[in-house]
Structure 1
Amino acid sequence: MVQPHRQALLIVDVFNDFRFEGGTGLAEQFRPAIPQLALLREHFRGRGVPVVYVNDNFDRWHEDMHGVVAYTREAGPDVSREAADALTPGREDVRLLKSRHSAFYRTQLPALLEHLRVGELVLAGMAGDACVFTTALDAHVHGYKVQVVRDAIASQTQARNRRVLEHLRETLGMATPGVEELVSRIPREGRC
């Protein structure tokens, strides 16, 4: 049975080679989110809240998360290396690969969240208006309470980021707190 008060931090697609149309713009928008993501992750880890990475596999079907991180570090621009240095998952973090936009699509995420008894997801990563957005929608459809951290996501432009956050708030009633606001609300006594 899901315990609605139990949270998990879901970090989506932070390892990227940016080799696609609009990739340069996304890389520029993503750079300021890296330290915010690291801060968010450390606050969740420090309170015993599960941290789950779900990342595109870049059609590298023979790789695990370690291989994907290594690939993006080498194939991508400087921001790819910065993300790998700051955000590589630790042993305590769960790592899943995906092949499409949503972290729920044909991944083990639903079974994992059920096993962890998660009722609320806090989403961060990129692209805010693509993979984070579809993951947030799927999480909502699956019955999870969802928060999308506004300064820990990135889209190709700031305008696209603002639009997706506004849409999630207005249409689905999702909270879009900033990192500082969110971590100040995480209980200090341990698991949420």
Structure 2
Amino acid sequence: MKQELTLYHAHWSICSQMVRVALYEKGLSFKSERIELCDQSDEAGNLTDNFLKNVNPTAVVPVLKLNDEIIRDSAYIIERIDDLKGDNEINLWPQDPVKRSELKKWVEDTTLTEGVSLGRSLGTMVPLFSTGLIEDLIKNLKFKSILRIIFKHPRRERKIAFLQCIFPL
């Protein structure tokens, strides 16, 4: 069966970069759909009706489409990529079940994982340190784009964070 891979990603996103590296390491060909995120561009590709309906209703990248299967969250995407046959015979995850379980636990503790509250793990602390950068990006957006984020972003905590960047306490 032919593998058709499409990666929806943001160029500067660390999670997107990890997935791109995994795809290249496995030697997998993929279609690249670069998404301009709402906090960096007035384009706000992650808030379009098409993206929210057909790619990710939480407006987050990266997302990998494998044939008709949609895979979200970089850690899960990389684990799924490891199951695919690419041009390079390489394993991204240990084959030993104990080592694989240990790595999975480490990944959960150190990466941005969907559904884990900010500050609850090392990975979810990263946004706390990147707030200054995000504030600067948001301040360069048009007012219309800021309103789009506030009214259209599906994640309540992101709306609040964007508002706090614009109107610091």
Q: Name the larger-Rg structure.
A: 2
Q: Higher strand share goes to which structure? A: 1
Q: TM-score, normalised by structure 1?
A: 0.27
Larger relative contact order (C-alpha < 8 A, sep ≥ 6)?
A: 1
Q: TM-score, normalised by structure 2?
A: 0.30
Q: Higher helix share goes to which structure? A: 2
